[in-house]
Amino acid sequence: MASQRRPSRSESPIIETAGLYKHYGKVRALEQIDLQVPPGVTGLIGANGAGKTTLIRLLLGLIPPTYGEVSVFGTPVADDPAALRARMGYMPEGKCLPLDQTAADFVAYAAELAGIPSSESRRRASETLFLVGLHEERFRYLGDFSTGMQQRVKLAQSIVHDPDLVLLDEPASGLDPEGRDQMLELIGRFGRFEMNVLFSTHILDDIERTCDQVVMLDDGRLIHAGPLEPPGKDDHISVEVFGDPIPLVTALRGQGADVTVDNRVLMVSSRSGDVFLLLREAMESSDASVRRLGTSLSRLEDVLLAAAREANG
């Protein structure tokens, strides 16, 4: 593995757009997108029809902008889209797998299409399928795969050729919760492989779990772009308990935590200390049993909803 940082992981933006518009006839898919995306794992969030896929296709040079400029790695996409695509991987949202081929054959073929020599392609296909957890199944036909396995193959074909930037269009769509967890964990690992990721989704939780920064689109307009702040002291956590929640509420409030109660679900925050430490101590002292525990989405959700409200006037 390369020990040095690759050029694309410098601090200069990997994606830049200036005054970007894309119209399909009377439909305005993107409007005035001015964006700079730094290296790392970036979430692209927006409702269906917000313009996420259009932005990805513009980055790949598959469609031209109506107005404005798109650059990847500092190079305008319009100058040489094919050369830029050699440095990019793409996982489409929809179907893209030939169901009559084996996973190993298809991923090797995807590598060859990106210019990896034939013999090396087969080796890399095997390694990449190992990485996504399909090593044992690599000689099975794709038509015999479950949806989750097919998503993993789609992910494998997007990274097999060692791209500097991977564009993932709704990679977790159609997956059950376990498959979703595994997919997000895999994507989170890409940052460690010195790979930049732009990852579209309409689920906030996916972004919070995986990304360093977020770009939000709404109805073709840029609503918000910026880093995801690390969890702070004023984070909320959500706790659902078995039985009576009152002893735990009392213990938490005794330690200075702010607690709101909705049936057996507590929303806990603290301005004076790590909320998880407070909760652990309160659970010990109250002997409470926890049914479910998780971070609240309120922070990012609040930020994005506020930005959307502001943009919509």
Partner 1 sequence: MADLPPADAREEAIIVDRGYRHFEGTRTGRRGAIRAIMRDGFRRVTGLRRKARRKLLPWTLIALALASVVILITIAWFESQLPTPDTAAELVPRYRGYFDFISVVALLFAAYAGAQLLVPDRSYGVLNVYFSRPLSLRDYLVAKLLAYAAVILSFWLVPQALLHLGLATLSQDGFLSYLGETTDILWRVPLAALVYFVLHASLIFVAASFINRVGGAASAFLAGSLGLNLVAVFFQEAIEETTGTRWTALLATEQHPRYVRDWIFGVHEGAEWIPAQAGFGPEVSLGVVIGLAVVSVILVGWRYRRLT
Using alpha carbons, select from 248, 252, 228 the residue that is nearest to residue 240: 248
# residues contacting partner 1 (CB under 8 A): 48
3-state secondary structure 283-296: HHHHCCEEEEEEEC
Q: According to CB under 8 A, which residues from 64 to 83 bind partner 1? A: 82-83
x/- mask, partner 1, residues 155-194, rule CB under 8 A, reads --xxx-xx----x------------------------xxx
Q: Which is nearer to partner 1, 94 or 230 (CB)?
A: 94
Q: Out of 89, 171, 220, 245, name the contact with partner 1 by CB under 8 A.
A: 89
Buried b (16+ CB within 10 A) or exposed e, 53-74: bbbbbbbbbeeebeebebbbbe
Q: Which is nearer to partner 1, 83 or 290 (CB)?
A: 83
Angle between helices 118-131 and 147-159 (to 10 degrees): 130
Using alpha carbons, select from 172, 153, 27 the residue that is nearest to residue 97: 153
Contacts of 148 by beta carbon, 8 Å cutoff, 6+ apart: 175, 176, 179, 182, 183
Q: According to CB under 8 A, which residues from 93 to 132 bind partner 1? A: 94-102, 105, 109-110, 112-118, 120, 124, 127, 130-131
From 41-49, 90-98, 266-274, 285-293, span contacting partner 1 (CB under 8 A): 90-98
The residue ranges that bind partner 1 (CB under 8 A) are: 1-2, 6, 60, 62, 82-83, 85-86, 88-90, 92, 94-102, 105, 109-110, 112-118, 120, 124, 127, 130-131, 141, 157-159, 161-162, 167, 192-195
